[in-house]
Amino acid sequence: MLVGVTVGLAALARTERARRATRAGRSRRARHFGLLADESSGEGVRRIALGQVDLALEMVAGDGSVQPAVTVHEVRKAIKRLRALLRLLEATLGPGEAARERGLLQDMAERLAGVRDADVMVATLQELMGRHPRRLCRRGVRELRAALERRRLEGRQREFGERAAIEADLLALRMRITGWSLPADGVEGGLEEGLLGIYRRGRAGHRRAGRGKADGLTLHRWRKHVKELRYAAEVLDLRTSPGKRAASSGRLAKLARRADELAETLGEEHDLAVLEELVRADTGLRRRKGSRRALLRAIARRRARLRERALGEGERIYGLAPGRMARRIARARARARARAHTRARARRLESV
């Protein structure tokens, strides 16, 4: 009898493990930021949009166990992904509706910007001090770092007051997404058209950045287009499952990776530009001219190196004419989808 009980318990344990694995697989699928080979484009983009909204809602309505800085970072990242997805869907939803939704998402992101910016300023100054420990080991620089730390703590306290409003906005957005008119098979061409538009905007930004000494605003605008390209490429990088890429879609994965690297370079340059503004406006540093001068020189040198690197990285991404890039991506996605369908058909025949 004891053997029978043991066998029964083992069977129950296996069933429970299988149930948990199935639930986890469904969760990974729902949250996967990219199209899957076994779904139509219309189904896929709705799933992706809802998954990002649900991720943001989960973070905003958390129990407080996640640090505020992590919460803000994850919510802002989900918002950026949604904005990029809306760029891809302009031809399908219409430019007016897509622009309205992007504007509402931008408003949400700006409400959380204070917390993120304060954290980044502390990290940026700390990283710069680590690069120049002797040159920046000055009282004025240490005082600035202490002031930024105080600002960060104040920003975190204000952030908690925004959660309820952002949660309500996200819930309203979720309802609108469920009502999107997305033809099951009529979205594919619009997505590739959207990617081409994103690529063109980024290519124009690269050209503007290469004209003489581009200002911080020009580089910051370019970075937004680069970020959109990264997320758009991730959406179109076809997968057979959330963890497995379909054959022949490596071109999009490479494009997303390179765009991510370029965005990081431009992001560091932008953070230094914001820090430079703070340094110039800081009245305490004006009294400590040696600290102010040393800090501004370190910022200027680092920004110059990052701009040079960004232009080189941009050439690798935007060197192709838009039409040629579009044809390459369309061929790669067609091959990936055809091979995925062939494998799926072979599996169905084996199971018969």
DSSP conformation letters of 133-189: TTTT--HHHHHHHHHHHHHHHHHHHHHGGGHHHHHHHHHHHHHHHHT----TTSSHH
Q: Are 255 and 317 in contact (CB under 8 A)?
A: yes
Predicted pLDDT at 128:
93
Predicted pLDDT at 70:
79
- Nearest Cα to 120, choosing from 165, 161, 155? 155
Q: Are 239 and 28 in contact (CB under 8 A)?
A: no
Mean pLDDT, residues 198-215 taken together = 90
Burial class (CB in 10 A: 0-12, 13-18, 19+), 43: middle
Instruction: Please tell me the least confidently modeled range out of 21-25, 87-91, 216-220, 237-241.
Output: 21-25
List the beta bridge partners of residue 239: 36, 245
Q: Which amino acid is at 31?
A: R
* Tens digits of residue pLDDT in 149-205: 888 877 666 555 677 888 999 999 999 999 998 876 667 888 989 999 999 999 999
- Nearest Cα to 35, choosing from 245, 196, 247, 338? 245
CA angle 92–95–100, rounded 5-degree value: 115
Count helices and strands in the chain by DSSP H and E runs: 14, 2
Predicted pLDDT at 330:
84
CB count, 10 Å around CB of 254? 14
Fold category of 35-178+187-346 in CATH = CHAD domain (1.40.20)
Kindly list the domain boundaries of the chain, sorted by start residue: 35-178+187-346
* Tens digits of residue pLDDT in 240-256: 677 665 544 578 889 99
CA distances from 326 to 81, 199, 255, 330 (A): 21, 9, 12, 6
Burial class (CB in 10 A: 0-12, 13-18, 19+), 349: exposed
Predicted pLDDT at 84:
96
Q: What is the DSSP string of 190-222?
A: HHHHHHHHHHHHHHHHHHHHTTTT--HHHHHHH
Q: What are phi and psi of 347, to 5 degrees?
A: -65, -40
Predicted pLDDT at 268:
96
SS3 content of the chain, % helix, strand, coil (to 5): 85, 0, 15
Predicted pLDDT at 229:
97
Q: Are 235 and 35 in contact (CB under 8 A)?
A: yes
Predicted pLDDT at 185:
66
* Tens digits of residue pLDDT in 304-317: 999 999 999 999 99
- Contacts of residues 91-97 at CB distance under 8 Å and 24 or more positions apart, as own/partner, are 91/189, 91/190, 91/193, 91/194, 92/182, 92/186, 92/187, 92/190, 92/191, 93/180, 93/181
Averaged confidence pLDDT in the chain: 84
Say what the pTM is. Answer: 0.85
Is the torsion defined by CA of 220, 230, 58, 124 positive or negative?
Answer: negative
* Tens digits of residue pLDDT in 83-99: 999 999 998 898 899 99
* Residue 293, token pair as written in the block: 């001068």
In the chain, beta strands by DSSP E: 239-241, 244-245
